[in-house]
Structure 1
Amino acid sequence: MREIKGILFALIAGTCITLQGVINSRISQDVGTLPAIAVTQFAGFCLALIILLLVRDGKPAQLRRVKPLYLFAGAFGVFIIFNEVTSIQLIGVTVTMSVILVAQIVMAFLIDVRGWFEIEKPAFGAPQFIGVAMMIIGVLIMQF
């Protein structure tokens, strides 16, 4: 059951990432990339704040225990949106999302294999390495 729930959450996230990229690309054509980023980040902040106030999930007072570097994770959103919007405008949605997916998989693979960010290292073997290689090859085939 846990795996199914995880897959459903991942499917929703992937769908939202694609929709966000396309919508941001459209907004940036009207107002510019940086204003589109500001609007998107502000809207995300407002929604997160509303959900936090309604659900009361977590303990904001515990933020003092979080490593300062980790508190800047949301700032990656600026780089994500800028690069995603620019890429969509240059190479289209499908190729952009495919390359982003491969970049995410490769980074996740490195984080898992190296145990970065205090993540427990799972066991990896040939099937995992082959799977990552096949995804990269798939994107290259789609590009050409």
Structure 2
Amino acid sequence: MTNLVLLVLMFCGGIAIAVQPSINARLAQKVGALESSCISFAVGTLVLIAVVLSAGKGNLRAAAGTNWWEWTGGAFGAFFVTMTIFVVPRVGTAAAMSVVIAAQLTTGVLLDHYGAFGLRHVPFDLKRLLGCLFLFAGATLIARR
């Protein structure tokens, strides 16, 4: 896949991340916050099982040879989804997402700088610092009432 296609897919992923908390919060009004989070992950699991069965090219058996911390992504995802279910109805989708985006990108800059988890090293520089500061400034403007 070209970088353009990958970036378009990530753009679509960003839309999904912005819409998901509102949908989950609406479901939570009817079934409860933790229950909504559980349903969200159950549906996501079913979708991924179908995708793996139809298009998967990996090796699920190799999971037995992984490090314990490589399994924590699901726990972080559950935490994120559950927090959005609690926060979005109280502060609004834009405020919640602006803080999430600022935190995600700032954390990404730090992870890149240290080459965390064995991934590519991208040094921290003044442009990245300014980008992070502008992100937090934007999040503050959006989150204020």
| C-alpha separation in 1, matches of 2:13 and 2:93 | 16
Which SS does the other structure have where 1:11 is aligned? Answer: helix
Amino acid of the residue matched to residue 132 of structure 1? C
Mapping 1:70-85, distance limit 5 Å: 70-85=70-85
Consecutive unaligned residues of structure 1, counting only runs of 5 or more, are none
Q: Which residue of 2 aligns with 1:136?
A: 136
For the 8 Å contact 2:37–2:82, the answer to whether it is kept is yes
Q: TM-score with structure 2 length normalisation? A: 0.92
For the 8 Å contact 2:84–2:96, the answer to whether it is kept is yes
For the 8 Å contact 2:96–2:143, the answer to whether it is kept is no
Mapping 1:23-62, distance limit 5 Å: 23-62=23-62
Q: Which residue of 1 aligns with 2:4?
A: 4
Q: Which residue of 2 aligns with 1:104?
A: 104
Task: Using the TM superposition, give the Cα deviation of residue 141 of structure 1 relative to its aligned residue in structure 2, in angstroms.
Answer: 1.9
Amino acid of the residue matched to residue 123 of structure 1? P
| C-alpha separation in 2, matches of 1:125 and 1:54 | 43
Q: Which residue of 1 aligns with 2:121?
A: 121
| C-alpha separation in 1, matches of 2:123 and 2:78 | 33
| C-alpha separation in 1, matches of 2:121 and 2:110 | 10
Consecutive unaligned residues of structure 2, counting only runs of 5 or more, are none
1:27-71 residue CA offsets vs partner (Å, 9 max, x unmatched) = 001110011011111101111001101113211122123212111
% same residue: 22
| C-alpha separation in 1, matches of 2:143 and 2:34 | 28
Which SS does the other structure have where 1:105 is aligned? Answer: helix
Number of aligned pairs? 144
Which SS does the other structure have where 2:72 is aligned? Answer: helix
Which SS does the other structure have where 1:101 is aligned? Answer: helix
| C-alpha separation in 2, matches of 1:143 and 1:75 | 26
For the 8 Å contact 2:110–2:124, the answer to whether it is kept is no
Amino acid of the residue matched to residue 131 of structure 1? G
1:55-98 residue CA offsets vs partner (Å, 9 max, x unmatched) = 13211122123212111311222211111111101100111111
Amino acid of the residue matched to residue 13 of structure 1? G
Amino acid of the residue matched to residue 63 of structure 2? L
Q: TM-score with structure 1 length normalisation? A: 0.92
1:67 aligned to 2:63?
no
| C-alpha separation in 1, matches of 2:56 and 2:92 | 39
Task: Using the TM superposition, give the Cα deviation of residue 116 of structure 1 relative to its aligned residue in structure 2, in angstroms.
Answer: 1.7
